[in-house]
Structure 1
């Protein structure tokens, strides 16, 4: 499947910040500890891809809150990923520079499956983590993933600032990143995975018109569907379909509860 965008322009997380702050916590903005001059200045001139991130986050958080147990933690995982062009020496220098600017310190260098990799990670609040994975593809390019994760979105007081800075700093390193985001929590419906997913779809359909299921997967413990959504700017080409969203419900074998996951444009974490 190939990632595409209907919009144009460069990526930013400023819209993400506005969206989550308005939906969840006034303290999200106040507890960020202040944005750096680099991040705030660059954000003024960077435009979201078709405004898709703001719109997508609003949908994701709304659907997640409606389809999960009230008061239960909402795990959010946001990934920025893209390619870097440069030889081995340039890549090593760029990886070290990006890790430092993200506040991750000196990255660990290793050889994995014949590829040179750099890894670094750090916490940015009691429930948040940011990590960088940099892997050589060939002699002239690398693939980079910066992941921001919080175990409980309602307590992630510094998530906004860290997320915005990550997008800005990847661009400053010469990487044009694309985003994907997943939200996960305890499903409010504790029947079969299929029943819980139907409830999730109803919650999403109340906020978005034109949603149409185009692909599905089911086994004994999991039920998943992907959807085309004409109003969403970000999508993945899968066969003849433009997939803009995916939902999944997985039955937890340890406590027999349902876990719901919603991803835009796809789920990129474990169900």
Structure 2
């Protein structure tokens, strides 16, 4: 399941549709300079602490909604000012993180330095974009599995260490994350809110009368019932095969502005037209196209 490129391509469709309706154009493309879908924490220490707690709860949601292993993606990103020249700056970050020697590419007129590596089974990809002399934008992506023995603890540890390393180098870190997988099978019909999901079997083709909107409502209810989270709907999108909703969530410190509200969680469901399976993506504070 982890290697299913078709699953993630459909998930990207979910996310793009949701983003268009949620009006996230206010967030700049991260390669041209602005942090996307994250608020500015008051300090690196607060950001690290908040991200640890929020990822832990996001992993709990992933485990409740999709069978293991599911995909977990975390991003640390932010502006960085340093006196180091481009190549030296990118090399310093890559070395600090234990990654490969950076390679360069041109993206939308900006020089981007890319490095990669792995830690504790988590893949790390670093992008350092030169904006002007001494000014850079840094994105560190972490990718790994969730729901398996020890996987959550490893991701939390790697996230913490990576965030600390970037902060120590002076990067103004911000955070977002997502989990993606196939929805758990359900024994009930209709709206999908009446029955509990199976513990380990992948989702079966959904009955034709069970809309993706109803599936999403069922997932919301599972989050509320199993994890005790209060979800307040803010903005949403739906069509025949896709439903997406963003939420205000008390107790989630990392948020993004959507209209006049602060949201901390976004849930999306896409029904695969070929298999009939429901593919689930959950982001905090929002899903972004990079997933």
Within 5 Å, give how 1:165-180 maps onto structure 2.
165-180=161-176
2:143 matches 1:149:
yes
Contact 1:210–1:231 (CA<8 Å) still a contact in 2? no
CA 1:253–1:99 in 2, change beyond 3 Å: closer, same or farther? farther
2:39 matches 1:4:
yes
| Offset of residue 99 of structure 1 | 0.8
User: Which deviations, in whole Å up to 9, do the C-alpha atoms of 1:130-171 show, x marking residues without a partner?
Assistant: 100111223442211101101445264753443222112111
| Offset of residue 208 of structure 1 | 4.2
Contact 1:76–1:153 (CA<8 Å) still a contact in 2? no
Q: 1:234 aligns with which of 222, 239, 254?
A: 254
| Offset of residue 85 of structure 1 | 1.6
Q: 2:266 aligns with which of 240, 246, 249?
A: 246
CA 1:97–1:270 in 2, change beyond 3 Å: closer, same or farther? closer
- Using structure 1 for the length normalisation, give the TM-score: 0.75
Contact 2:63–2:146 (CA<8 Å) still a contact in 1? no
CA 1:210–1:86 in 2, change beyond 3 Å: closer, same or farther? same
The answer for unaligned runs of 5 or more in structure 1 is 11-46
Q: 2:232 aligns with which of 206, 212, 218?
A: 212
The answer for unaligned runs of 5 or more in structure 2 is 1-25, 28-37, 187-205
- Count how many residue pairs are aligned between Structure 1 and Structure 2: 230
Partners of 1:167 and 1:107 lie apart in 2 by 19
In structure 1, what is the equivalent of residue 221 of structure 2? 202
Partners of 2:147 and 2:75 lie apart in 1 by 15
| Offset of residue 4 of structure 1 | 2.3
- Using structure 2 for the length normalisation, give the TM-score: 0.70
Within 5 Å, give how 1:17-28 maps onto structure 2.
none
In structure 2, what is the equivalent of residue 36 of structure 1? none
Name the SS of the counterpart of 2:148 in structure 1: helix
Partners of 1:54 and 1:107 lie apart in 2 by 28
User: Which deviations, in whole Å up to 9, do the C-alpha atoms of 1:65-86 show, x marking residues without a partner?
Assistant: 22224xx312110100001124
Of the structure 1 ranges 203-212 and 232-241, higher mean CA displacement relative to structure 2 is found in 203-212
In structure 2, what is the equivalent of residue 18 of structure 1? none
